[in-house]
Chain A
């Protein structure tokens, strides 16, 4: 039955991990549908992934230009209607710039791009994208970014913490200086999740440090079937 479920993967000019995200969608059992930045409809998909990369070169700020593309307008509309949306790395930046998630991602504290296998604690296992994990579980997922330091006003941080909206936290070393070791967050409804680490690069042991990332893609499928 899940074979009929479709997950859209958006390609902006400069998206890099779009094929990888599509591969992870396929590995989870859904059908990946590519969406182009200029598309004005979502082709009937059941969920959307905004993948990693450097949309439009990201010279200004990560995601700053991509958020104005026609397809993102549709994603915003759908997300507000409850569609599951996952933003990975650059996709997380787009979600913040588009105000689907609060806060912003700025230059890493070390001022360098960093690529490494990163341990994360799953803090919220009840979102559409994290229900397959157990709360408090440690997973290993690669990070690779130059602008991944999560910042927000003190009020926003307090609100995220109070409402349990921190989805993932860095463990065993914070790679970028993110406030409260925040690696990923969710919106209040739990359908929109953004994170800096790359679950699509952790779907098998041949090409990734673990297969822990696949759970994000299978979680959303289960939630869609249940819905």
Chain B
């Protein structure tokens, strides 16, 4: 770093200075474009800003052309108040209330430092929700690691889980669900996706805009330090390589206490009508927040960068503008309201500093002790970054071989004893075992609105003390189905989350997604991505649930091997009366168990094939979106009319797993009679299915028939075992030991 500051004047006078654009991740033509935009070479500070803002993570340069389908093909929905393009989508849920939710990745930081990576992942998504004017009311997390017994997992799992819990618990947000997966494809590249949901009265909606010349730009929250400088471009926009440790930016450390008071303080600012625009500081820090708010405003912006409160006085302008220090927000405030804003921040103990103002020019100008170090059109940073139509090519040989290698030839259990032994191994496998070792580390009670959380299919929270209205959420991904068929797999992931929400009694309304893939520079990976987004957009249209926002995480691979393509899908639903919610566990003995949906011999990509044979191949189960919709309609009606007292969706592990889970929750067993091939009935993973329990079987079966949902009574609840008539029985006590012992044995 040169001690003298590279100013705009200097850049004009020294056009030929060599600049390290390639080291900063910019391509030759991207650098040329920057020179063209500016009509000169960029200053060091400008170059740093372009490099982070045009990184894959911030600019979506490889994914933009595919993500467009989510908006272009979106189903028309009256509920959508703010669609894609803002920090998070906003959905009307009635009674003057709106809900905003989004899922985001923090994969690479969590590999470097599991606790802090996961913690700051939660912190970041919570600020995105706060930015919309919403009070965050719950979080969820979707985690994937290498094999459960791999040494890497021993380091990562406890750290990541403690980090998700540590931040969310200290922030006072209930964790209402999520998922944990293990697969060797995530070894060396875990997935840590966090979701946050918030609620706001319509009138409190905030936008990330800097409007009105003369309005002041106020930085709120933590002091700026050298955290994660270049983190976005370095960590999230490149593949990990052995020995790249030295390039790693300094780790961001989360301070949930500061975030908690920042949330309370911002909500008071919003309620008092004191801000005209607000933006969180996440990836790319001030570079992103200033250029996005200015770019979406009606003028320019001037920032006096030296006024930013620093943790270390020796920081350079580049470090200040690209730092990713956590727990900061940028507010746009009318001059007459600045004093009030500062006083309110003082009450909460939040540091607040005027660092600049909105101008009537069209430039984002940043000065450092009076010297101009940045003078650029803000949209060129925020919106007009490069857009790539990356080569897309189906890797025919590999993919054909994978699809040809179905599970039909794998030996199947036939006798009752074999079926029983299979069941016992499967429920004890890391794939299917109880997640309570994880979820016990998360507070699910705080805020007092949690109606359903772990181990139910979906989370469900009441929206306030004075309403019966609630929202349900589920977060699902299945990288194996998507590996077998990215298009259908993505649809199945959506279908599963949709079905999980429906099982709570809520009606699915909208979608968020986090698309975790390998390198976009690999045409095979881009094919997976193109197929998955196409499948998702189609299915969203058919199910009438628009994508409201999300996140893309590329470069998830170790060396040249990409992870299984893993779109993680969040579905939001609404329920008018939370008292009508339907839990997953059997609630009483003597109830009829009704299986909804059709079961086919569909075991390719199943938990059975993986756990019992380490096999992945063939074609995933058929996608049945019409059936999913009919099932969801039936579940909502049955919940509303009080026809069912438990509902559990059938997915990984099939009917067998669903019965075990539903029985163990309240220790109520079941006896079932399964016609036809017992193995298929127990372990197939056909989509669009659920089990429900009822004491009004006739009414339920009639309603199902009327709505075109196949329904058959398969047995009754009760006793302290699961018995499959004519095949085997296993006590709940034995099942519980197998189901609950695995993760504690692995992780302490």
Contacts and interface: CB of A to CB of B under 8 A. Distances in A.
A113 B447 CA distance: 18
B444 interface: yes
A114 interface: yes
A142 B445 contact: yes
Contact of B579 (A53, A58, A112, A206): A206
A20 B451 contact: no
A208 B445 contact: yes
A208 B462 CA distance: 13
A61 interface: no
Interface stretch (B238-246, B254-262, B389-397): B254-262
B170 A54 contact: yes
Contacts of B446: 16-17, 20, 52, 144, 201
B349 A115 contact: no
A54 B438 CA distance: 21
Interface in A48-102: 52-54, 56-59
Contact of B445 (A113, A114, A144): A144
Interface string B441-484: 11111111111000000000010010000000000000000000
B632 to A, nearest CB: 23
A144 B169 contact: yes
A14 B256 CA distance: 9
A19 interface: yes
B288 interface: no
Interface in A1-21: 13-14, 16-17, 19-20
A53 B172 contact: yes
Contact of A17 (B165, B172, B256): B172
Interface in B171-199: 171-172
Nearest to A11: B264
B166 interface: yes
B440 interface: yes
A35 B678 CA distance: 62
Interface string A20-57: 10010000000000000000000000000000111011
Contacts of B579: 206
Given A16-B446, A17-B446, A57-B256, A207 B348 contact: no
Given A16-B172, A198-B445, A207 B349 contact: no
A115 B162 contact: no
Given A57-B256, A112-B162, A207 B449 contact: yes
A222 interface: no
Nearest to A117: B445
B293 to A, nearest CB: 28
A114 B451 contact: no
B578 interface: yes
A14 B260 contact: yes
B443 A115 contact: yes
Question: For chain A, which range describes its interface: under 10, 10 to 19, 20 to 34, or 35 or more residues?
Answer: 20 to 34
Contacts of B450: 207
Contacts of B449: 207
Nearest to A56: B257
A114 B441 contact: yes
A156 to B, nearest CB: 29
A123 interface: no
Contacts of B442: 113, 115
A30 to B, nearest CB: 16
Nearest to B261: A13
A13 B257 contact: yes
Nearest to B173: A16
Contacts of A17: 172, 446, 448
Contacts of B462: 206-207
Most buried by B among A14, A23, A115, A207: A115
A219 to B, nearest CB: 20
A115 B440 contact: yes
A147 to B, nearest CB: 12
Given A13-B349, A14-B260, A57-B170, A19 B440 contact: no
Contacts of A114: 440-441
A142 B579 CA distance: 20
B172 A115 contact: no
Contacts of B443: 113, 115, 144
B257 A14 contact: yes
A116 B348 contact: no
Contacts of B444: 115
B261 A14 contact: yes
Given A17-B446, A207-B448, A113 B441 contact: yes
A113 B448 CA distance: 19
Contacts of A208: 445
A23 B169 contact: no
A116 B171 CA distance: 18
Nearest to A175: B440
A19 B579 CA distance: 21
Contacts of A53: 172
Contacts of B261: 13-14
Contacts of A57: 170, 255-258
A212 interface: no
Given A54-B257, A113-B165, A206-B578, A200 B170 contact: no
B440 A116 contact: yes
Interface string B428-444: 00000000000111111
A144 B165 CA distance: 11
B440 A207 contact: no
A65 B111 CA distance: 33
A201 B257 contact: no
B445 A23 contact: no
Contacts of A112: 162, 440-441
Contacts of B256: 54, 57
A112 to B, nearest CB: 6
Most buried by B among A13, A23, A53: A13
A23 B449 CA distance: 11
Contacts of A207: 445, 448-451, 462
B448 A13 contact: no
Interface in A145-204: 146, 198, 200-201
Contacts of B258: 57
Contact of A113 (B166, B172, B465): B166
Interface string B142-183: 000000000000000000001001100111100000000000
Contact of B448 (A115, A144, A201): A201
Contacts of A19: 447-448
Nearest to A54: B170
A113 B260 contact: no
Contact of A20 (B170, B440, B441, B447): B447
A34 to B, nearest CB: 13
A201 B172 contact: no
A208 B445 CA distance: 8
A142 B473 CA distance: 23
A214 B592 CA distance: 35
A116 to B, nearest CB: 6
A200 B162 CA distance: 25
Given A13-B348, A54-B257, A20 B448 contact: yes
Contact of A201 (B169, B255, B260, B445): B445
Contacts of B255: 57
20 contacts: A13-B348, A14-B257, A14-B261, A16-B170, A17-B172, A17-B448, A19-B448, A20-B446, A52-B446, A54-B170, A54-B256, A54-B257, A57-B257, A113-B162, A115-B439, A115-B441, A115-B445, A206-B451, A207-B450, A207-B451
Interface of B: 162, 165-166, 169-172, 255-258, 260-261, 348-349, 439-451, 462, 465, 578-579
Given A113-B166, A146-B169, A206-B578, 11 more contacts: A14-B170, A16-B172, A20-B447, A53-B172, A54-B260, A58-B257, A113-B169, A144-B443, A201-B448, A206-B462, A208-B445
Interface of A: 13-14, 16-17, 19-20, 23, 52-54, 56-59, 112-116, 142, 144, 146, 198, 200-201, 206-208
6 closest A-B pairs (Cβ-Cβ)? A57-B257, A16-B172, A20-B448, A201-B445, A54-B170, A144-B443
